[in-house]
Amino acid sequence: MNVLVTGANGQLGKCLQEVAKLETSWNWMFTGSADLDITNAEKVQQFFENNAVDIVVNCAAYTAVDKAETDIENAYAVNAEAVKFLAENCKKHNALLIHISTDFVFDGENENAYLPTDITNPIGVYGASKLKGEQYVQELLKKYFIIRTSWVYSEFGNNFMKTMLRLSESRNELNVVADQIGCPTYAMDLAVGIVAVIKSKSENFGVYHFSNQGKISWFNFASEIFKLAGKEMKVNPIPASDYPTPAKRPSFSLLNAESFQNEFKMQIPAWKKSLANCLKKYQNA
């Protein structure tokens, strides 16, 4: 089985590279933008013609949420048009597409954790571009899994956990937003989840949600990072209105992952447990 992973140099891509070491019976093809420019329709077509592809895991994304507000063309090129090119070629070559999306497709007005069937209503360019990518997949394909996730972090790349640890080297007090609610996702858990999707051979195609289990704010997340890392840091909870950003963010983006756990027979870990695992790996490295 030939598995193409796009966005291989991002957090999730690097975690998949780690998980792939345990799945040696599959032929993994890990590509970054230098190996395969998925925003170029011709190059995507050529890749599929030159390589037998059974499954595509699309981890590539434009994730600069604030920059996207002015860099609209590039955000849509990566998050929407490139996804269309992948979907078109998956259809032509009868390949399964596993596409990673985001909690930002929602407006944050829910009171309960978002179900995959809940109505989408993005409030920024990043979320809108990711939703457009989802729509292309659903219009073009029958064989697909869209996996929405939230607050992704890992020992790789740039993320909230590593930013907090970096700030702790030079500061002893921080203000962190306390009225945006959701749950973080350890990218290594998501990578394990993607492998579970592939192994399941499920044909219950559609949209699923994946995040670690729990319900917290960024303030809670930061506080636990410092606690587990043994850092002396005073964390002050502040409202999002005290920390204005170019892009609006959903105030509530908790994802209900029950359907994922049931379909793919995976118990997703609680967020504190996964954070502890990630910190241990990061500190050991």
**Tens digit of each residue's pLDDT (9 = 90 or more) over 219-231:** 999 999 999 999 9
Long-range (24+ apart) CB contacts under 8 A made by 51-54 are 51/2, 51/4, 52/2, 53/2, 53/4, 53/29, 53/89, 53/90, 53/93, 53/95, 54/1, 54/2, 54/3, 54/95, 54/96
pLDDT in the model for residue 20? 97
User: Does 160 have pLDDT greater than 90?
Assistant: yes
Q: What is the CATH T-level fold of the domain 2-158+183-213+254-269, as seen in this structure?
A: Rossmann fold (3.40.50)
- How far apart CA 100 and CA 92 sit, in angstroms, is 21
Q: What is the mean pLDDT of the chain?
A: 98
**Residue 234 is which amino acid?**
K
pLDDT band at 285 (very low <50, low <70, confident <90, very high): confident
Per-residue pLDDT tens for 66-125? 999 999 999 999 999 999 999 999 999 999 999 999 999 999 999 999 999 999 999 999
Contact (CB, 8 A) for 20 and 72: no
**Residue 182 is which amino acid?**
G
Q: Could you list the active site residues?
A: 126
User: Residue 1 is encoded by which pair of tokens?
Assistant: 């089985």
pLDDT band at 139 (very low <50, low <70, confident <90, very high): very high
Helix axes 41-50, 82-92, angle to 10 degrees: 30
**What whole-number percentage of the chain has pLDDT above 70?**
100
